[in-house]
Structure 1
Amino acid sequence: MGAVLGAFTVSQLACCCGSAACSLCCSACPSCKNSTSSRIMYALMLLVFTIICCIMLTPGLQAQLMKVPFCDGNPNGCKDLVGYLAVYRICFIVCLFFVLMALLTVGVKSSKDYRAGIQNGFWGLKYLIVIGGCIGALFIPHGAFGTTWMYFGMIGGFLFILIQLILIIDFAHSWAESWVTKYEETESKGWYCALLSFTFLHYAIAFAAVILFYIFYTQPHACGLHKFFISINMILCIIISIVSILPRVQEAQPKCGLLQSSFVTLYIMYLTWSAMSNQPDCNCKPSFTSGSCNSKSPTFDTQSIISLIIWFGCVLYSTIRTATSSQAAKLGVAQTVLVKDDGSGGSDDGGENGGQKVYDNEEDGVVYTWSLFHAMFSLATLYVMMTLTNWYSPGADLTTLSANEASVWVKIVSAWLCLLIYGWTLIAPILLPDREFS
């Protein structure tokens, strides 16, 4: 349903709420697939509301709101309009939006379905609905909303972590396979050096991180839990790296090697650092992070920012990742070009009249499952909510937002699950030789 704008007339102003907005987001590109442009638009929507949530956690925002006449006369001083409760309420509406979209697109097989317009168009209306819902959600009575929604957030956020781990491992395999294939095809020393360089770089950073962890996050006669985390994760990474180069694994997967393992190792070290940074015990953290241990207001630290960068990287990767060759064969190589111009008839000039080519590559069948895509984005919203609030558990003091044990174990369990999933991708072709893994 992605359209291409031709001559700009007054009658086309309505396109801002229609399918044309989908193609406008890619106007800088020579051409755009309808499925890709729609996913990018949803990713941008999620990013916009994530930024709004970050603004709601900005220190001093509540003090500025007190200067507003409405808040000045409000009994609670509009404190519920900022902070972690504001993040909860905004993410509540955004999550509901994606759940609704998932329900509306269940069973869609191609863009010929009448629900394709809902999926690929009406972007202005969608933003208005979500913004209106967010404004209304700010007035939800305090009650048990925060605690109840927190449990939904924990479950949904953890489910997204599993999806994120799969995406990261898939990226590692895709990256290594791509470079190995290029090296085998060209026998270029450049690709060989690139493989060696990035593998060495990943392991070097991971090794340096382990040393720094022992220096800054442990004490000679204390911080036993941190010592356990660092040691066990380092040992597991060494084991998984050795497994990746075993003869049987190499025979089953010739393109599997140390580049994937080094990338996963680096990610495990990040999760270990992130977990230790959320440790409530300030004595087991370096001085430059211990100041946030007993913080009475939301603060953005380095590990939270990196978590969001990795999160959005995974969202973008899942959004723009092209269909596999098997999907392309199933859907057909031929694609239909849908172009709207000034009424002179169909054209494929791709923008000579100010428009842009948009390939509707879902007429014969959807490239991705729309309902599952929205379900994943709803879980991504919950993950953002829990990450921004540091997996916070509302208690008696609802103004306190500090490091806690929940966030520590979420990160550590995520690291172990990542190693488990990656290890399975290595040995699965050996244990199940009759199945094809790609």
Structure 2
Amino acid sequence: MGAVLGLCSAAQMACCCGSAACSLCCSACPSCRNSTSTRIMYALMLVVTTVVAAIMLSPSLAETLQKIPNLCTASKICQEVVGYLAVYRIMFALTIFFIVMCVMMIGVRTSNDGRAGIQNGFWGLKYVLLVGLMVASFFMGDGRTFGEVWMYFGMVGAALFILIQLILIIDFAHGWAGAWVSEYENNGSRGWYCALFSATIGMYAVAITTVSLCFTYYTVSDGCGLQKFFLSFNLILCAIFSVISVLPIVQEHMPTSGLLQSSAVSLYIMYLTWSALTNSGDTKCLPESLVGENKSKLDLQSIVSLILFAACVLYSSIRNSSNTQVGKLTGVNDSNDAEAGVQSGAVHEETTKVWDNEENGVAYSWSFFHFMFALATLYVMMTLTNWYQPGDATKTGSFVENRGSMWVKIISSWVCAALYSWTLVAPAVFPDREF
């Protein structure tokens, strides 16, 4: 699957260079939907920009620039293109790009819309435009003022993306449980049941271990009361919705609910709690390894956040089903997708390997897709900068601990628990509605 998606993306990159390159490349590629290959291309754009932003944090980059004669002494370029403010500027450019695309794609219903060409093509021009926005962002006024304002946009956007991540995780867990239960029912093999049981117990074990380690390293016996409250309260929340998920009335109205989904959500909430504790700013309640740590360095929770982000973005790019949480969130229409695939797949596959499956209706909401990627960009920006905020104005690029980020993550974890609990009880409370 990964090889197929990679080839589809490579095909569209070739198509932006000219008809000859397109014909040559597409003839050698396996068939894939235009809706899928387009989303993969935008995901690739986000990943490439993330890599560039991460490079800006590298101490070796600053050292290399210092070696260039007269470069750093004659201008402020060395201060502007490295560090957290550089990440802010690069991610600002990508966010603006996705917001513009979001506005442009409002109301698109089929690929026959004139805007479909902009959505699915012109990749070379899009990258040129993005690079231009990035360059322009470095000329936007005082870095400290820009950083302070953009940080609040980043915190709000990142918090919203945390909720989207929860929806993606729930959807993945539902699909995971459904697939393994079906295998068990169809084949009668107890191995699938044991695998489902083991996965559930494993995630609960990791979540409980996370709580134990946080109590050990992020609290002390005679203090850190707030941290202890967060850990205890979130653990209780996880226990409550886990019990709710197996209640008979919930099972009656939502047979697909179960402990696998609850274990996945519990693990995600414990991850958010751990991440929040690392931003508490209370040195007494932090592990010694985090006290006085180099702020240009990605810590463990940032690395975990980026891995989770990459998995969610990839999943949202290839997932295409209207009966899932993701489908309802993004406006996916499987019936249109299937109908277009039957009618146009056989025709277009003869001439191109990336065929249009959205002639009778878009397979996902183009506008919301770009909005979600704009939020993902802000999430990456805050992750790369450890959720810090611009610090002392006398120190260019100085960033300090941001206690507000702790509350953003903790409140997000509570909203996640409430949202998941609502998805469990809503079908029973409103049996006549579709959820």
Superposition TM-score tier, normalisation by shorter sequence:
0.7 to 0.9
In 1: Cα distance, 2:319 partner to 2:74 partner = 48
Deviating more after overlay: 191-200 vs 27-36: 27-36
Q: Is the contact made by 2:56 and 2:83 (CA closer than 8 Å) also made in structure 1?
A: yes
Q: Return 177-186 or 237-246, whichever deviates more.
A: 177-186
Answering whether residue 389 of structure 2 is matched by residue 393 of structure 1, we say: yes
- Provide the C-alpha distance between the structure 1 equivalents of 2:19 and 2:120, rounded to a whole number of angstroms: 6
Corresponding position: 1:361 with 2:339 = no
Which residue identity lines up with residue 102 of structure 2 in the other structure?
A: A
1:53/1:87 contact within 8 Å kept: yes
**Structure 2 counterpart SS, 1:363:** coil
Instruction: For 1:19 and 1:330, locate their aligned partners in 2 and report how far apart those are by CA, in whole Å.
Output: 29
The residue aligned with 1:106 is 106
Q: 2-side partners of 1:23 and 1:307: how far apart?
A: 39
CA distance in 2, matches of 1:201, 1:422: 20
- Match in the other structure for 1:196: 197
Identity over aligned residues, as a percent? 55
SS at match of 2:290: helix
What is the 5 A alignment of 1:45-84? 45-69=45-69, 71-76=71-76, 78-84=78-84
What residue is the counterpart of 1:116 in the other structure? 116
RMSD: 2.9
In the alignment, the residues of structure 2 paired with residue 168 and residue 270 of structure 1 have an alpha-carbon distance, to the nearest angstrom, of 13
- Distance of aligned partners of 1:14 and 1:218 in 2 relative to their CA distance in 1, 3 Å threshold: closer
Cα distance 1:322–1:108, how it changes in 2: closer, same or farther (>3 A)?
same
- The separation in 1 between residues aligned to 2:180 and 2:189, in whole angstroms, is 11
Matched, 1:87 2:87: yes
Query: Which residue is 1:409 aligned to?
Result: 407
Q: Which amino acid aligns with 2:334?
A: A
Per mean C-alpha deviation after superposition, the further-off stretch among 22-31 and 391-400 is 22-31
Preserved CA contact (<8 Å) 2:26 2:354? no
Q: Which residue number in structure 2 is paired with residue 342 of structure 1?
A: none
Residue 333 of structure 1 aligns to a residue whose secondary structure is: helix
Amino acid at match of 2:56: M
- Determine the structure 2 residue equivalent to 1:172: 173
Corresponding letter in the other structure for 2:391: G
More deviation, 37-46/322-331: 322-331
| Counterpart position of 2:157 | 156
Amino acid paired to 1:314: C
Answer with 77-86 or 27-36: which moved more: 27-36
**Match of 2:253?**
252
Structure 1: how far apart are the matches of 2:289 and 2:311?
27
328, 335, 347: which one pairs with 2:334?
A: 328
Instruction: Map 1:201-280 onto structure 2 (within 5 A).
Output: 201-280=202-281
Structure with more contact order per residue of length (Cα contacts < 8 Å, sep ≥ 6): 1
Shift in CA distance, 41/164, structure 1 to aligned 2, threshold 3 Å: same
**In the superposition, relative to structure 1, how do residues 195 and 21 fare at CA in structure 2: closer, same or farther (>3 Å)?**
farther
Shift of 1:131: 1.2
Change in CA separation of 1:330 and 1:176 when aligned onto 2, cut-off 3 Å = same
C-alpha distance in structure 1 between counterparts of 2:161 and 2:348, whole Å: 42
Question: Which amino acid letter does the alignment assign opposite residue 284 of structure 1?
Answer: C
- Alpha-carbon shift at residue 330 of structure 1 (Å): 4.2
CA contact (8 A) 1:33 1:360 kept: yes
Q: Structure 1, residues 124-158: CA drift from partner, whole Å, max 9, x if none? A: 11111111221232232226222222222222222
- After alignment, is 228-237 or 273-282 more displaced? 273-282
Whether contact under 8 Å (1:240, 1:423) holds in the other structure is: yes
Structure 2 CA distance for partners of 1:375 and 1:153, relative to 1, 3 Å: same
Larger CA deviation: 31-40 vs 309-318:
309-318
Following superposition, the deviation at residue 180 of structure 1 comes to 2.1
Q: Does 2:426 match 1:428?
A: yes
The aligned counterpart of 1:132 is 132
TM-score, normalisation: structure 2: 0.87
CA distance in 1, matches of 2:360, 2:402: 50
Match of 1:282 in 2: 283
Greater percentage in helix: 2
Q: AA paired with 1:37?
A: S
Structure 1 residues 77 and 132: CA distance shift in structure 2, 3 A: closer
Deviation at 1:16?
A: 3.1
- Over 3 Å counting, the alpha-carbon distance change for 1:331 and 1:320 in structure 2 is closer
Of residues 391-400 and 311-320 in structure 1, the stretch that sits farther from structure 2 once superposed is 391-400
Check whether the contact 1:66–1:77 (CA below 8 A) recurs between aligned residues. Answer: no
1:387 alignment partner, SS class: helix
Amino acid at match of 1:41: M
Alpha-carbon distance, 1:23 to partner: 10
Kept after mapping to 1: 8 A contact 2:14/2:22: no
Structure 1 contact 298–401 (Cα < 8 Å) conserved = no
Quote how far apart the aligned CAs of 1:49 are: 0.3
Give the unaligned 5+ runs of structure 1.
340-345, 351-355
Distance 1:20 1:367 in 2: 29
